[in-house]
Amino acid sequence: MAKIAILSGKGGTGKTFVATNLARIAGKCTYLDCDVEEPNGNIFLNGPITKTCDVTVKIPVVDKKKCDGCRECVSFCRFNALAYLYDRILVFKNICHNCGGCALVCPNGAISYENIKVGEVTIGQYLDTMVVTGTMKVGTESAVSTVATTLENAQPGLNIIDCPPGTACSVMEAIEDASYCIIVVEPTLFSYHNYLMVKELLEKLKLPYGLVVNKDMESTVEYTDNVIARIPYQKEIGMLVASGKLAVEHSDEYKGIFMDILDTLRREANV
Amino acid sequence: MKLLAMAVNEKNMNAKLSDNLARAKYFAFVNLDDGDVEFKENPAFTSSGGAGIKAGQFLLDNQVEILITKQLGQNASDLLAGAVKMFTGIDSSLDENLAKYKNGELEQGTSTHPGFHHG
């Protein structure tokens, strides 16, 4: 199983553009949309959805009759998701990281769990590509569980992971098992600044990576190291993306660029 | 004993009221009965997450009845609402905030912010 993670520091650099076109050109593969705050790969890889499942997390429920106010759970929780007010424990659901520790340390067995829904994962098919889409429930604070559940659907063969932007917890969850990472960058200072953050993260995690420079043009910002492809800044590409089309299906030039990226991945990541 | 709390980053009454409650270095506890002031370190200052809740718990554990703060995170607000009387502090020293409170010049209630955690 190979997992190629497509990520970027700055949003809007073209993660989904690269990920969806790569999936299309790769033929039989699995596309996992882990950009769960706003997944949109299925606009381009648009096929029938065959399965939908809920993402749930376990949140502590305290039995007031059994709780004697010892506060072991409050002191244990390193995220401070529990507080003791007068005579009862308050649970802050959005802060809880669902570790289960509070129930373990409770000497009175007063803590059990309820499942609450934090997202949804759908599975569909577009030509040869299995399309897995994670969508976070609006109002939920942490994306991590939905990203993790999306990734559980990785299949034997090639998996292309469309990551959230940035370098936060949800990104780390998405790239944890990656065999190779593609950082999508654009020639702007903003993108360069955030690229350095992603680079630092990947080097800390010891993950191999290469850069795809999207919207490439003459600029004061130049990328020279580890560049595996350059996609020129062209009006045509903007028109295609804006109308929900895959560039590789409409242009031999782009098809060539993505074939080259795939060749690089075959060399670098045994795809 | 009626206790009033204010968040601050230095241990003196001339210091400015902190912009942030949960991440302030200290809390000034003012005993309104005899005017005594005590500064205590905020245990949530270095907390990696849920600082508002931890700071709120600290205030509850110290039996604070009144809180003067510029604003409040949503979680701290959920925890303290009903238990502590809150007033919106002004951008000035603790002394001035206390004086204004005593004259009934501080607005009751506070605005909340959604927190500063990103990911």
What's residue B117's pLDDT? 53
Question: Nearest-CA distance from B103 to chain A in Å?
Answer: 30
Ranges in chain A annotated CATH 3.30.70.20? 64-109
Q: Which domains does chain B have, with CATH numbers?
A: 3-113 (3.30.420.130)
Residues in chain B: 119
Quote the ipTM score: 0.78
Structural contact between residues B96 and B8, judged by C-beta atoms closer than 8 angstroms: no
What's residue A141's pLDDT? 84
Q: Do B49 and A95 touch (CB under 8 A)?
A: yes
Q: Do B60 and A84 touch (CB under 8 A)?
A: yes
Which residue stretches of chain A have pLDDT < 50? none
Beta carbons within 10 angstroms of residue B61's beta carbon: 11
What is d(CA A222, CA A98) in angstroms, rounded to the nearest whole number?
43
What is d(CA B103, CA B119) in angstroms, rounded to the nearest whole number?
42
What's residue B119's pLDDT? 44
Chain A residue numbers touching B48 (CB-CB < 8 A): 78-79
- The residue written with tokens 């804006």 in the block is A242
Amino acid identity, position A145? S
- Name which of A1, A9, A2, A10 is nearest A198 in CA terms: A9
Ranges in chain A annotated CATH 3.40.50.300? 2-55+119-269
Q: Does A79 touch chain B (CB under 8 A)?
A: yes
Beta carbons within 10 angstroms of residue B92's beta carbon: 13
Q: Which residue of A has its CA nearest to B54?
A: A80
What's residue A139's pLDDT? 87
Q: Do A95 and B75 touch (CB under 8 A)?
A: yes
Helix, strand, coil content of chain A in percent (nearest 5): 30, 30, 40
Chain A residue numbers touching B47 (CB-CB < 8 A): 80
The beta-carbon neighbor of B50 closest among A81, A168, A169 is A81
DSSP string, chain B: --EEEEEESSSSTTSBBPS-STT-SEEEEEETTT--EEEEE-TTTT-SS-HHHHHHHHHHHTTEEEEEESEEEHHHHHHHTTTSEEEEPPSSBHHHHHHHHHTT-SEES-EEE--S---
- Whole-prediction pTM value? 0.80
SS3 A267: helix
* Degrees, nearest 5: CA angle A180-A186-A192: 85
Quick one: tokens of B115?
A: 């927190």
Q: Which residue of A has its CA nearest to B116?
A: A141
Fold for domain A64-109?
Alpha-Beta Plaits (3.30.70)
Tell me which H or E stretch contains A131.
strand A129-136
Instruction: Encode chain B (119 residues) as per-residue pLDDT tens digits.
Output: 899 999 999 999 999 999 999 999 999 999 999 999 999 999 999 887 889 999 999 999 999 999 999 988 888 998 998 899 999 999 999 999 999 999 999 988 877 776 655 44
What is d(CA A265, CA A177) in angstroms, rounded to the nearest whole number?
16
Q: Do B83 and A92 touch (CB under 8 A)?
A: no
When scoring B48, B53, B74, B118 by the number of chain A Cβ atoms within 10 A, the one with the most, hence best to mutate, is B53
Chain B residue numbers touching A86 (CB-CB < 8 A): 83
Beta carbons within 10 angstroms of residue A73's beta carbon: 24
What is d(CA A144, CA A213) in angstroms, rounded to the nearest whole number?
28
The beta-carbon neighbor of A83 closest among B47, B51, B53 is B53
Strand order in the sheet with B26-31: B37-41, B26-31, B3-8, B64-69, B85-88, B107-108
Does CATH number 3.40.50.300 belong to domain A2-55+119-269? yes
The beta-carbon neighbor of A169 closest among B53, B83, B119 is B119
Chain B residue numbers touching A166 (CB-CB < 8 A): 118-119
Q: Which residue of A has its CA nearest to B63?
A: A86
